[in-house]
Amino acid sequence: MNKKAGLLLAGAALILAACGDDGTQPSEEQNDTVEETEVVEPEENTEEEASEESAEETEEAEETTEVQDAEQVPEAMNGEASELLSKGEKTSFVFNEIGEFSIFCEPHPVMKMTVVVEEGAELSGEVDLDIADYEFSEETIVVAPGTVITWTNQDLAQHNVAFK
């Protein structure tokens, strides 16, 4: 029996040697495979950085849009008028010239307001006004030169902003 056990052990050793697995070290081929499939850990904060980059790109796009919009705002002048505005729509005009501007709604001429533009006025930059209940939200408003006024129609009826 000892002979049989010895032969079995010798046979098992030969089989293991032929397969390249002696139970200790991987073969060179296996080492190459291990190196090729090595796990590379992702950089830390990858998602955070991508999110920050996305936010920065969005901010830049918004800034560009704001600059373009400011450049595209028509100047307030006698004889000018906006398109008719449906509920929720807006129109803007920039007031560069010092003076007094009489404003009305073409479809509803009883709707009137006055914009006074003067140096040193407290209101400047951007001012939001409403059109509601067939009235402009301000009867008279005083603004500094360069102010952009934006009107938003809150009525179901269509209105516009027209200059006499």
Domain boundaries, the chain: 1-37, 46-73, 76-163
- Contacts of the segment 143-146: beta carbons below 8 A, 24+ positions apart: 143/95, 143/115, 143/116, 143/117, 144/117, 144/118, 144/119, 144/120, 145/95, 145/96, 145/97, 145/98, 145/117, 145/119, 146/94, 146/95, 146/96
Of the pLDDT bands very low, low, confident and very high (cuts 50, 70, 90), residue 72 is confident
pLDDT in tens, 132-149: 999 999 999 999 999 999
pTM here?
A: 0.58
